[in-house]
Amino acid sequence: MTSIKNMAVSFQKINDQPPLVHHITNVVTVNDCANVTLALGGRPVMADSPEEAGEMVSMASSLVINIGTLHANSSKAMINAGLKANERGIPIIFDPVGVGATEYRKKTADYLLKKLRCSVICGNMSEMMAIAGEKTQARGVDSGDSMASAKKLASGLAAKLGATIAITGPRDVVSDGERTVSVANGHPMLANVTGTGCMTNSLIGVFAGSGNSPFDAAVAGIAAMGLAGEKAYQALCEGEGVGTFKVRLFDALSTLTPEEWQKGVQIY
Amino acid sequence: MTSIKNMAVSFQKINDQPPLVHHITNVVTVNDCANVTLALGGRPVMADSPEEAGEMVSMASSLVINIGTLHANSSKAMINAGLKANERGIPIIFDPVGVGATEYRKKTADYLLKKLRCSVICGNMSEMMAIAGEKTQARGVDSGDSMASAKKLASGLAAKLGATIAITGPRDVVSDGERTVSVANGHPMLANVTGTGCMTNSLIGVFAGSGNSPFDAAVAGIAAMGLAGEKAYQALCEGEGVGTFKVRLFDALSTLTPEEWQKGVQIY
Amino acid sequence: MTSIKNMAVSFQKINDQPPLVHHITNVVTVNDCANVTLALGGRPVMADSPEEAGEMVSMASSLVINIGTLHANSSKAMINAGLKANERGIPIIFDPVGVGATEYRKKTADYLLKKLRCSVICGNMSEMMAIAGEKTQARGVDSGDSMASAKKLASGLAAKLGATIAITGPRDVVSDGERTVSVANGHPMLANVTGTGCMTNSLIGVFAGSGNSPFDAAVAGIAAMGLAGEKAYQALCEGEGVGTFKVRLFDALSTLTPEEWQKGVQIY
């Protein structure tokens, strides 16, 4: 099981040597992904053209790829950057947004997974079922599937793909094929802000980029987003809604202390 | 005239079966459009590549197209998705951002209107005049024209195009060619946040995607944004400006009650 | 030296005749750039396709180009719009984001500077050293270089390129080759929000678009962002972090008075 104490240590590492997290991501949530990276202490860079993605990733600590608004050019950039990241041992975090929704996403995701070795793949239940080749009840980029078999799916996929698999939902599941844990942090309001899944992948990128194992990074990124969601909700006043909740989410990530972390994370 | 009571009912419908609102929109306000869709209870999906837009829209409840940052690829995606939407009876909401500002936008908008049957077209006075082929005083994406003839323009265009026409401004006008109403909600500060027009189209997409007629959806979407603007302004404290106003706008949309709605909307 | 009194006057000019600031910029911070433009009293337009950028800029008061997420298409749009801006005497503000990080950015920036006459070039120390052809310690889009020689670099580059050079950092430097000043406003938290550099260029675009000289516009834009950062930080309460800070930044820009300006700006 993940050592929560090690997680506390990794906050210090982020501050001592801020990891540069290269993103090739969607246009919907790219600003939020950059800002959560900064909030947790990392440094973001978002170069997404095939002409430069490979060169840019060479100086990065981790690479986050996200197919939320996929284009021919961005998928080329993902391949170029991903191959260079693999060559240099830079961890890749893959967020297969809406992979089950269209043929185009499925084919691209399959191609990315064939060409690249990903350290972490993190998405919702429908996305992970689609990655596994199962039929899903996805609706757009939202999951429509029960998480009853999430642990089995995660550990099976992890073993098959040689990656840490993280499935987000009311209760998140993380597995590297040998160890499988649940993370019980979070708040339902997180689903009412666009891109909290994307942002979780950025947080995983920050943890993976500062020397944590893929498994630890995935647990830590997911727990950090969950804890921030809890703190953000608690800070809401009468009459405040999702607008303030989103602001408080960034506040919470930027003020999260190792003490709050150790006290708050719920990993089983 | 629109029945305000029916509008109240439609809030319940949104909650009971959240409509999936597919957007092909601009990169400036895409995040805000997704977030207002969520705030009102819908679910957004923003796939904008020609390779998948047609497939993605098939599972959607409505389609919002917006030419704010138009490209060759996104206009192809709009056509692909629009044709599929028409085939399936999925309502299309068209936001002709800055259509009078360049030849490229005008030609693209004309082509979209020729190829697609739109349910609602919603923009500012200069945009609607440009759609009608009149000379305008537009400056970039802002209107520079008087709304004195807005009702006439709206009802004429509605009859000609077979669509509901909504013209936003200090006093909004909506017409389906037979009925023409004014909506008097709103606050001047809405013009100081980028994308409130785009977001209004997203709200119309939510209402149209949950079973309201194009006319009712246009009135409801416009009134919801106006009411939210009023609430957001009232919630401002000393020293707060457009940053907080924008946050409060999302708060207001996410906490809007049928009671506030029925009490607050001003439709003539 | 810059006359602070003139700066106060220029606020009035912005209100009397809001300048239209055309941006061709990156997808990460494009929404924030539009919103700071509005917050200061300008009007933004963000058309970035080669098909229309030249036509759109013709009605603009200034043009901001930013290579933060550079693509083949956007660089064509920058050339088209830039040539037209030069032809019409519309000032160009150039933000060479991450120019030292990849060959692609360096070549594009060199090409833009060869083809276009820029009024202001504003970036961080590493970016300006890269523009000057020096080796840098840049890491992604962040500077890794000391500002010890910033004044010399700025005045040398200004003379060589015939542009106002602004180097942002803990203490900003602005030179037109004859006059060189430091701006001491700002707060370290500005570095924890993505895009404050991009937004500064938008503010310069607003000032340059309302009749200020390139030098005055650069000083004013930089000082306005710095002052807003100070005000935003002062307004933070216990438990608030970068989320609220960013909101307060927009608040501060939208409520900045000539009196606060004259009292607060620190230009040496």
Question: Which DSSP string do the residues of chain B spell out, in sequence order?
Answer: ---HHHHHHHHHHHHHSPPEEEEE--TTTHHHHHHHHHHTT-EEE----TTTHHHHHTT-SEEEEE-TT--HHHHHHHHHHHHHHHHHT--EEEE-TTTTT-HHHHHHHHHHHHH---SEEEEEHHHHHHHTT-----BTTB--S--TTHHHHHHHHHHHHTSEEEEESSSEEEE-SS-EEEE----GGGGGSTTHHHHHHHHHHHHHTTT--HHHHHHHHHHHHHHHHHHHHHT--TT--HHHHHHHHHHHHHH--HHHHHHH--B-
| pLDDT (0 to 100) of residue A70 | 95
CB contact under 8 A, B27 and C22: no
Lowest mean pLDDT among A34-43, B108-117, B121-130, B137-146: B137-146
What per-residue confidence (pLDDT) applies to A206? Answer: 98
Q: How far apart are CA B219 and CA B119, in angstroms?
A: 13
pLDDT at site B198: 98
SS3 at position C254: helix
Q: Give the whole-angstrom CA distance, residue A51 versus residue C169.
A: 29
Residue A233 has pLDDT above 60, yes or no: yes
Where does the pLDDT of residue A12 fall: very low under 50, low under 70, confident under 90, or very high at 90 and above? confident
- Amino acid occupying residue C141: V
Position C2 pLDDT exceeds 60: no
Domain limits, chain B: 4-264
d(CA C110, nearest CA chain B) in Å: 25
Average pLDDT on B130-141 reads 93
Report pLDDT for B100.
Answer: 92
Whether C67 has a pLDDT exceeding 50, the answer reads yes
Q: Which residue in C93, C94, C73, C69 sits closest to C19, CA to CA?
A: C93
DSSP helix/strand/coil, A50: coil
Tallying the residues shown for chain C, one arrives at: 268
C-alpha–C-alpha distance, residues B118 and B158, integer Å: 11
Chain B nearest CA to C60, separation (Å): 8
Q: What is the pLDDT of residues B197-207, one digit of tens each?
A: 999 999 999 99
Q: Which helix (H) or strand (E) holds C126?
A: helix C125-131
B221 annotated binding-site participant: no
Average confidence score pLDDT of chain C: 95
Sign of the CA dihedral running B139, B193, B68, B134: negative
Say if the Cβ atoms of A254 and C104 lie within 8 Å: no
Q: Is residue C10 over pLDDT 90?
A: no
C interface with A, Cβ–Cβ < 8 A, is: 26-29, 31-32, 68-72, 98, 101-105, 139-142, 192-195, 239-244, 246-247
State the Cα–Cα distance between residues C152 and C150, nearest whole angstrom.
5
Q: Which residues of B touch C260 (CB under 8 A)?
A: none
Cβ contact B198:B29 at 8 Å? yes
Q: Which residue of chain A has the CA closest to B50?
A: A71
pLDDT of residue B5: 64
Interface of B with C (CB under 8 A): 26-29, 31-32, 68-72, 98, 101-105, 139-142, 192-195, 239-244, 246-247
Token pair 């044709």 is at which residue?
B83
Answer yes or no: do B104 and C43 touch at CB < 8 A.
no
Identify which of C77, C82, C84 has the alpha carbon closest to the alpha carbon of residue C121. Answer: C82
Q: Tell me which of B21, B23, B36, B52 to substitute to probe the interface with A (most A C-beta atoms closer than 10 Å).
A: B52
Average pLDDT (A196-210) is: 98
Contact B245, B193 (CB under 8 A): yes
Region A121-131: mean pLDDT is 97
Q: What is the pLDDT of residue C1?
A: 47
Both structure tokens of A5:
């104490």
Grade residue B13 by pLDDT with cuts at 50, 70 and 90: confident
Please name the member of A46, A55, A249 whose beta carbon is closest to the beta carbon of C69: A46
* A vs C: CB pairs below 8 A: 106
Beta-carbon pairs below 8 A across chains A and B: 106
Task: ipTM value, please give it.
Answer: 0.96
The pLDDT value recorded for residue B1 is 47
Mean of pLDDT values over A60-74: 97
Q: Which residues of A10-45 are buried (b: 16+ CB within 10 A; e: fewer)?
A: bbebbeeebbbbbbbbbbbbbbbbbbbbbbbbbbbb
- The closest alpha carbon to A143, from A181, A204, A109, A191, belongs to A191
Report, as an integer, the average pLDDT of A205-230.
96
Q: What values do phi and psi take at A136, rounded to 5?
A: -130, 165
For residues A67-75, average pLDDT:
96
Query: B194 to chain A: which residues are within 8 Å by CB?
Result: none
Per-residue pLDDT, B11: 79
Nearest residue of C to residue B98, measured between CA atoms: C45
Substitution target from B17, B30, B57, B80 for chain A, most A beta carbons within 10 A: B30
pLDDT digits (tens, 9 = 90+) for B234-249: 999 999 999 999 999 9
Q: For position A1, what pLDDT does the model report?
A: 47
What is the DSSP secondary-structure string of A180-231? EEEE----GGGGGSTTHHHHHHHHHHHHHTTT--HHHHHHHHHHHHHHHHHH
Whether A145 shows a pLDDT value over 90: the answer reads: yes
Out of 3.10.20.600, 3.30.70.1070, 3.40.1190.20, 2.40.50.140, select the CATH number for domain B4-264. 3.40.1190.20
CB B67 within 8 A of CB C51: no
Residue C189 annotated in ligand binding: no
Q: Shortest CB distance from A51 goes to which of C31, C104, C141?
A: C104
Among chain B residues, CA nearest to A245: B251
The least confident of C26-40, C87-101, C134-148 is C134-148
In chain A, DSSP finds a helix count (H) and a strand count (E) of: 11, 8
Tokens of B151: 């009702």
pLDDT at A199 over 50: yes
How many Å apart are CA B120 and CA A94, to the nearest integer?
38
**C24: number of CA atoms within 13 Å, CB side?**
33
pLDDT of C151-207, one tens digit each? 999 999 999 999 999 999 999 999 999 999 999 999 999 999 999 999 999 999 999
List chain B residues with CB under 8 Å of A31: 31
pLDDT at B3 over 70: no
| Chain B residue set in contact with A, beta carbons under 8 Å | 20, 22, 27, 30-31, 34-35, 38-39, 43-49, 51-52, 55-56, 59-60, 73, 235, 246-255
Q: Quick check: A192 and B49 CB within 8 A?
A: no
Helical packing angle, A214-234 and A196-208, nearest 10°: 130
pLDDT at C106 over 50: yes
Region for A98 from its dihedrals, namely left if φ exceeds 0, alpha if ψ lies in -120 to 50, beta otherwise? left
User: Do B28 and C34 lie within an 8 Å CB cutoff?
Assistant: yes
Partners of residue B247 in chain C, C-beta under 8 Å: 247
CB contact under 8 A, A52 and C103: yes
CB distance C194–A35 less than 8 Å? yes
| Shortest alpha-carbon distance between residue C58 and chain B (Å) | 10
pLDDT over 90 (residue A61): yes
User: Which chain B residue's Cα is nearest to A241?
Assistant: B251
Inter-CA distances, C245 with A248, C98, C198, C230, C237, Å = 11, 24, 17, 10, 10
pTM score above 0.90: yes
Work out the minimum CA distance from A25 to partner chain C, whole angstroms. Answer: 10
B46 is in an annotated binding site: yes
Q: Which residues of B fall within a CB distance of 8 Å from A109?
A: none
pLDDT at residue B186, rounded to an integer: 97
pLDDT digits (tens, 9 = 90+) for B168-184: 999 999 999 999 999 99
H or E, element range at C115: helix C103-115
Measured CA to CA, the distance from residue A254 to residue A41 in angstroms comes to 8
The answer, yes or no, to whether residue B143 has pLDDT greater than 60, is yes
* Chains in contact with B via at least 3 Cβ–Cβ pairs below 8 Å: A, C
**Predicted local confidence at residue B4, as pLDDT:** 62
